[in-house]
């Protein structure tokens, strides 16, 4: 019944390649301070003759005689950066200039949401791609074998982004690093993927989910890779909705004409299809037996599912309970962002092993966040159980870059701390990876005021992770504003958020993020909220409130202030 794959070749080759990387990691992790000194020297030497390197005295920093002096000089000459601090340098690269942040030009760009309507263009150099998306990926794939030796006895359903989304002004491509990585995997791994890379270029997300599950549900899937568990929820929902259509397609070797597939993508997918009446009959019998068919029924050999499990994604992980075979391992994806893959998880824990030989890390303790001159800690100074905001320096032109994340330190790997994600910080909220900034929400409301001529005296937004949506609260200047009018106001706000934040738009289009809910507030609602907080012990002179939050206690207070 199942198209069994012989795992001997991939297991052997990945064990050799991954084993070499594991030896390097173990060596680096035994003395993280020495490794961090070597890594920072390597990065600064690599970029010393660039515009950024000359402006920030990399040569002088490298004259340091020891680790302490090196780290101190680096903090002295190089400021902590957000993306907007680096954007002018990136723009010069985008328009064809070389040797600005790093030698030469980038191999590609990864794009992600920023604080403005212009997304972040994160450069990816050849060196960074080789180290992080080459060598680290070998160890990552090897970690699957270490956890489940039968992981490559079937095929892999991997959900990645578009390989090519467009081109910078100088012709350098921008797109998904994970998509490029998957497209360029060695030949012995290509046949392990259930779908051709063209499938990720389907614009209509409902059609994309259908195609992914149409090709996956026919196969013996033993590995599923996707960052966000919400994607798995949508795939399973799609399978439940179109199960009979899948069965018919599988029986006849077709791809349903009920969905909007681009002609060239349809042609690429159809080349991979052939009639499979035996599998179709098996799937029909599953529905007859169970009624609601789940992945554990059509993928009983599934060995590993890897997604994010920390932070807000736990809500979606909980929704997967009972979906998969009991023997399957749900493996943490690891602390990973477009700007930097910090490390990966090697075993069954939720903690990310850091790579002190590939990145240089700095940290600010949670209690120091917001201070004018916070103390930066080195990797070897972190303490188990404490929380920090990480800053990273990479071979891709990010220098002392603020990740705007709050991570917690777990057990040490060798002598190096591990971390796991807690939440975003500094006015950033995320439900399913959209990274919505408070500033974007404020700007969207003000633009909606201008468009609708409705003045808002006070407004606030809350993330509802459980239901994958935001709640927007408004105290309109005109208290006669109806609920219907308020909802129209929210539609305008939402349209601006989609324009300002590419990740927010993508998550809404892909059905992972629902439309926001509208609430009208009573008159003087902020004053009533503030008074309640002060009565609970907040100091009047220090009281402040963010306008976009993930805070159930504060959310509950505003729920009591709404107009029914």
Partners of 417 in the β-ladder? 412
DSSP code at position 199: G
Last residue of a domain, one of 332, 363, 378: 332
Matching residue, tokens 């400021």? 79
Which residue among 307, 332, 357 closes a domain?
332
Total number of domains in the chain: 2
* 199 and 318 inside one domain: yes
Q: For residues 521 and 474, is the Cβ–Cβ distance under 8 A? A: yes
Note the pLDDT of residue 495. 96
Measured CA angle at 428 (ends 336, 448), to 5 deg? 130
- What gap in Å lies between CA 122 and CA 341, rounded to an integer? 12
Distance CA 214, CA 351 (A): 34
Q: How far is CA 379 from CA 65, 383, 384, in A?
A: 19, 10, 12
Residue 228 lies in a domain: yes
**What span, in angstroms and rounded, lies between the C-alpha atoms of 472 and 467?**
14
Q: Last residue of a domain, which of 332, 367, 388?
A: 332
* Residue 238 in domain: yes
**Nearest-CA neighbor of 390 among 409, 403, 373, 371?**
403
pLDDT per position as a tens digit, 138-161: 999 999 999 999 999 999 999 888
Whether 317 and 436 share a structural domain: no
The first and second tokens of residue 204, run together, are: 């209509």
Q: Where is 37: in which H helix or E strand?
A: helix 32-47
* CATH number reported for the structural domain that contains residue 547 in this entry: 3.30.300
Residue 227 lies in a domain: yes
Same domain, 157 and 286: yes
Lateral strand order in the sheet of 173-174:
120-124, 108-112, 173-174, 166-167
Residue whose token pair is 């002088």: 60
Helix axes 552-559 and 525-535, enclosed angle (nearest 10): 130
Q: How far is CA 262 from CA 167, 183, 271, in A?
A: 20, 20, 14
If DSSP codes are grouped into helix, strand and coil, which group holds residue 470?
strand
Give every residue of the chain whose pLDDT is below 70, as ranges: 1-2, 113-117, 312, 315, 426, 534, 537-544
The answer on 326 and 210 residing in a single domain is yes
Q: Are both 287 and 151 inside the same structural domain? A: yes
Biggest CA-to-CA distance, the chain: 73
- Please state, in angstroms and rounded to a whole number, the distance separating the CA atoms of residues 41 and 77: 14
Q: Compute the distance between CA of residue 462 and CA of residue 516 in angstroms, rounded to an integer.
A: 10
Q: Would residue 243 count as lying in a domain?
A: yes
User: How far apart are the C-alpha atoms of 298 and 285, rounded to whole Å?
Assistant: 11
- The β-bridge relationship of strands 469-476 and 456-464 is antiparallel
* Cβ atoms of 125 and 109 closer than 8 Å: no
CA dist 235 → 176, 228, 281, 443 (Å): 20, 12, 21, 34
What per-residue confidence (pLDDT) applies to 388? 96
Q: Residue 349 has what pLDDT?
A: 87
| Residue 188: inside a domain | yes
Q: Give the separation between CA 222 and CA 305, rounded to whole angstroms.
A: 8
Q: How many other C-beta atoms are found inside a 10 Å radius of the C-beta of residue 248?
A: 14
Closest CA to 175 of 264, 132, 112: 112
What was the pLDDT predicted at 117? 63
- pLDDT 10s digits, 105-130: 999 998 876 666 678 899 999 999 88
CA 342 to chain centre: 12
Burial status of residue 503 (CB atoms within 10 A of its CB: 0-12, 13-18, 19 or more): buried
What SS3 class is residue 450?
Answer: helix
DSSP for 387-437, please give it: EEEEEEE-TTS--SEE--EEEEEEEEETTEEEEEEEEE-SSEE-SSS--EE
pLDDT at site 542: 43
What is the C-alpha separation between 378 and 68, in angstroms, rounded?
Answer: 10
Residue 527 CA to its chain's centroid (Å)? 37
Say if residue 320 is in the same domain as residue 464.
Answer: no
Angle between helices 243-252 and 229-241 in degrees, nearest 10: 80
- Contact criterion met (CB below 8 Å) for 225 and 306: yes
In 3D space, the residue among 335, 349, 468, 331 whose CA is nearest the CA of residue 405 turns out to be: 335
Could you tell me if 205 and 324 lie in one domain?
yes
**Structure tokens given for 323:** 């979906």
- Using CA atoms, how far apart are residues 519 and 515, in angstroms rounded to an integer? 13
Give the total residue count for the chain: 564
Is residue 478 in a domain?
yes
Same domain, yes or no: 318 and 463: no
Q: 309-340 burial by CB neighbour count: b if 16+ within 10 A, else e?
A: bbbbbebbbebbeebbeeebbbbbbbbbbbbb
Range of the domain at 464: 430-559
Q: Which pLDDT does position 539 carry in this prediction?
A: 46
Q: Do β-strands 416-424 and 352-354 pair in parallel, antiparallel, or remain unpaired?
A: antiparallel
Starting from the edge strand earliest in sequence, which strands make up the sheet with 517-520, in order? Answer: 517-520, 469-476, 456-464, 548-549
Map tokens 């404020």 to a residue.
442
**Residue 37 tokens, joined:** 């000194």
What is residue 114's predicted lDDT score, i.e. its pLDDT? 65
Cβ–Cβ contacts within 10 Å for residue 36, how many? Answer: 26
Asked whether residue 280 is domain-assigned, the answer is yes
pLDDT of residue 532: 85
Whether residues 437 and 552 share a domain: the answer is yes
Distance CA 486, CA 449 (A): 11
Count CA atoms closer than 13 A to 560's CA, side-chain side. 9
Among 202, 239, 237, which residue's Cα sits nearest to residue 509?
A: 202
With CA atoms as reference, report the closest residue to 298 among 250, 261, 341: 250
- Tell me if 391 is assigned to some domain: no
pTM of the model: 0.81
Q: What is the C-alpha R_g of the chain?
A: 25
């Amino acid at each position: 019944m199942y198209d069994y794959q012989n795992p001997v070749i991939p297991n052997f080759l990945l064990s050799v390649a991954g084993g070499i990387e594991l030896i390097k990691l173990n060596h680096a992790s035994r003395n993280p301070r020495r490794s961090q000194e070597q890594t920072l020297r390597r990065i600064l030497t690599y970029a010393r003759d660039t515009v950024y390197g000359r402006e920030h005295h990399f040569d002088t920093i490298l004259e340091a005689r020891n680790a302490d002096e090196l780290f101190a000089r680096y903090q002295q000459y190089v400021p902590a950066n957000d993306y907007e601090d680096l954007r002018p340098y990136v723009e010069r690269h985008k328009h064809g200039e070389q040797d600005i942040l790093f030698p030469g030009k980038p191999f590609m760009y990864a794009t992600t949401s920023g604080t403005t309507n212009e997304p972040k263009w994160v450069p990816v150099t050849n060196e960074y791609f080789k180290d992080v998306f080459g060598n680290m990926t070998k160890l990552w794939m090897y970690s699957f074998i270490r956890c489940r030796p039968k992981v490559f006895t079937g095929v892999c359903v991997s959900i990645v982004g578009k390989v090519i989304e467009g081109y910078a002004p100088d012709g350098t491509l921008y797109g998904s690093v994970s998509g490029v990585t998957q497209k360029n995997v060695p030949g012995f791994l290509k046949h392990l993927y259930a779908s051709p890379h063209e499938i990720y270029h389907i614009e209509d997300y409902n059609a994309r989910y259908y195609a992914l599950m149409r090709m996956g549900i026919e196969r013996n899937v033993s590995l599923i890779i996707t960052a966000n568990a919400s994607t798995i929820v949508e795939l399973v929902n799609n399978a439940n909705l179109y199960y009979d259509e899948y069965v018919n397609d599988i029986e006849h070797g077709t791809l349903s004409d009920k969905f909007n597939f681009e002609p060239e993508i349809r042609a690429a997918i159809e080349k991979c299809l052939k009639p499979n009446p035996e599998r179709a009959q098996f799937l029909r019998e599953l529905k007859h037996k169970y009624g609601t068919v789940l992945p554990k029924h059509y993928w009983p050999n599934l060995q590993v599912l890897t997604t994010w499990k920390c932070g807000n994604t736990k809500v979606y992980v909980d929704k997967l309970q009972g979906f998969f075979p009991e023997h399957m391992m749900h493996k943490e994806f690891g602390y990973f962002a477009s700007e930097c893959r910090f490390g990966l998880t090697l075993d069954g824990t939720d903690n990310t092993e850091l790579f002190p030989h590939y990145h240089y890390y700095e940290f600010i303790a949670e209690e120091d966040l917001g201070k004018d001159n916070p103390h930066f800690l080195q990797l070897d100074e972190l303490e188990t159980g404490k929380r920090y905001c990480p800053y990273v320096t990479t071979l891709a032109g990010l220098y002392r870059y603020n990740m705007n994340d709050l991570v917690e330190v777990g057990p040490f790997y060798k002598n190096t701390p591990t971390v796991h994600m807690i939440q975003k910080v500094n006015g950033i909220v995320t439900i399913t990876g959209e990274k919505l900034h408070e500033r974007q929400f404020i700007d969207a409301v003000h633009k909606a005021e201008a468009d609708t001529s409705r003045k808002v005296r006070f407004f606030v937004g809350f993330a509802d992770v459980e239901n994958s949506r935001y709640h927007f609260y408004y105290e309109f200047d005109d208290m006669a504003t109806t609920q219907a009018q308020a909802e129209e106001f929210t539609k305008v706000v939402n349209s601006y958020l989609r324009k300002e934040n590419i990740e927010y738009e993508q998550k809404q289009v892909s059905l992972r993020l629902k439309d926001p809910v509208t609430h009208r507030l009573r008159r003087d609602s902020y004053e009533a909220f503030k008074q309640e907080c002060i009565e609970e012990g907040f100091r009047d002179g220090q009281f402040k409130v963010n306008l976009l939050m993930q805070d159930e206690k504060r959310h509950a207070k505003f729920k009591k202030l709404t107009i029914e």
